[in-house]
Amino acid sequence: MRIILLGPTASGKTELSLQVAEELGIPIISVDSRQCYKHLDIGTAKPSEKELQRVEHYNISNLELDEDDSVQAFSDRADVWEKQILSINDHSFFVGGSTLHLQSLIRPIDEIPSANKKNIAEIEAQIENDGIESVYEKLNAVDPEYVKKIDGMNRQRIIRALDVWMQTGKPFRSFHSNEEFQLPANTLVFGMHRDRQNLYDRINQRVDEMINEGLVNETKRVLTMGYSKDLQPLNAVGYREMIAVLNNEMDLETAIDKIKTQTRRYAKRQLTWFRRWDFITWLPADEKKPEELKEIMLSHLAAKQ
């Protein structure tokens, strides 16, 4: 059985997933578009060393910061890992909140044209000359619905979407149609449900914890290692604001407020996406402890077998 636990950022997936994985004796495959990168630990809320010792994880710190990644690449990796896991276990367990990555686990990815080097070079040149804002606005003009779903000015996703549009004349979102579809029979999907204000409070608290744990120094260390601030993983919420602080373009207090605002907006977009899926079994995370939520998940799993 394929088990999926999803939810917006800061909804409490980590502790619950650890307890379920320990109970079933299976590893966790992270469904997160940032945790797969090395060196980005605090800002991606990556599982701690202690948590990684409790349960084996896949898709954590397996890519260099300058390696390109995509939903298709994740899907290919996940397929290999899942086959390995199911060769010795009865279940596979996916945990995360990256919407398109999650969708790739539920339905086949629509066929998308391969990257066109000429188009990409043209887009890169425009970014170099006019800034990423210029191509962001260009994409917003031809595919506003997709722009709403991406994490701010995500360089890699903007370039990819524009490249596909230049090749086909079709908006990138049309290749990720979210029409109704049947959940595969061997799949169970659970979602973390929290009151919106409680979720926002948890997000604010998490951002404060990231700052206290050393997000500024983590960002500085990555840049000192020689990585460009323009790399796609460093355009994520949290890191781009810390880069602005380090460049004296923003004070720390303003950066913290901006991170909180952008993260809350991201969580809202995640929830909007998830609510289209009527096959999710929502878990009352405000009302019950992880131990109780674990029992709910296990009872559904037992009934499915």
Residue 151 has pLDDT above 90, yes or no: no
The per-residue pLDDT for 150 is 73
Q: Please indicate, yes or no, whether the overall pTM of this predicted structure exceeds 0.75.
A: yes
Average pLDDT of the segment spanning 90-96: 98
Taken in order of first residue, the domains within the chain and their CATH numbers are: 2-110+185-304 (3.40.50.300), 117-176 (1.10.20.140)
Tell me the backbone φ, ψ of residue 198, rounded to 5 degrees.
Answer: -65, -40
- Confidence band for 173, pLDDT divided at 50, 70 and 90: confident
pLDDT digits 0-9 by tens, 226-258 = 999 999 899 999 999 999 999 999 999 999 999
Tokens representing 61 are 């710190």
Average pLDDT of the segment spanning 164-179: 76
Lowest mean pLDDT among 55-59, 85-89, 159-163: 159-163
